């Protein structure tokens, strides 16, 4: 699985004019299940994200996790993280998991992140979503397991 983490002051996702998920200070997590991914990869990614120390401590060092700062997460499905740009000008997305499997793993990942102690809200898999966020830092981290 692949994820792009953005440390945010706040973030929200809107579908058809209605906010369906939001977080205050914490993380916006864009996530993509890849072909062949299993629940094991989702477990590893959720555990890693919950423990990743990208929030600043009293000394100004990135030394705290989202759990340490009582932050939340907004998890948004993003199959375009599977983009292959190695040929031509149009990205290919064939490395992404098929939609049914991608949705299952996305929802599983979000549950596992919540079970790891991170209050979690989500977008809507496959929907045309509008994501609003205020980057904090900015801090953006790419993860793959």
35-50 pLDDT, tens digit each: 999 999 999 999 999 9
47-77 pLDDT, tens digit each: 999 999 999 999 999 999 999 999 999 999 9
Active-site residue flag, 79: yes
105-122 pLDDT, tens digit each: 999 999 999 999 999 999
Q: What is the pLDDT of residue 105?
A: 98
Q: Are 35 and 51 in contact (CB under 8 A)?
A: no
**Share above pLDDT 70 across residues of the chain, in percent, rounded to a whole number:** 100
- What the chain holds in terms of domains, given with CATH numbers, is 2-144 (3.50.80.10)
Q: What is the pLDDT of residue 91?
A: 97
Q: Which of 14, 41, 78, 120 is catalytic?
A: 78
Q: By C-alpha distance, which of 23, 31, 36 is closest to 3? A: 31
Mean pLDDT of the chain: 97
Active-site residue flag, 80: yes
Q: Which of 14, 52, 55, 79 is catalytic?
A: 79
Q: What is the pLDDT of residue 145?
A: 95
């Amino acid at each position: 699985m692949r994820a792009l983490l953005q440390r945010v002051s706040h973030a929200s996702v809107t579908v058809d004019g209605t906010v369906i998920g939001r977080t205050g200070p914490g993380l916006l997590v864009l996530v993509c299940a890849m072909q062949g991914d299993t629940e094991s990869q989702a477990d590893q990614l959720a555990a890693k994200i919950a423990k990743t120390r990208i929030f600043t401590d009293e000394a100004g060092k990135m030394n705290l996790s989202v759990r340490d700062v009582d932050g939340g997460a907004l998890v948004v499905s993003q199959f375009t993280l599977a983009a292959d740009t190695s040929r031509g000008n149009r990205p290919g997305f064939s490395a992404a998991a098929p939609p049914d499997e991608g949705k299952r793993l996305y929802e599983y990942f979000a549950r596992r992140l919540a079970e790891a102690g991170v209050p979690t809200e989500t977008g809507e898999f496959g929907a045309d979503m509008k994501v609003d966020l205020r980057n904090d830092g900015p801090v953006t981290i790419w993860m793959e397991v």
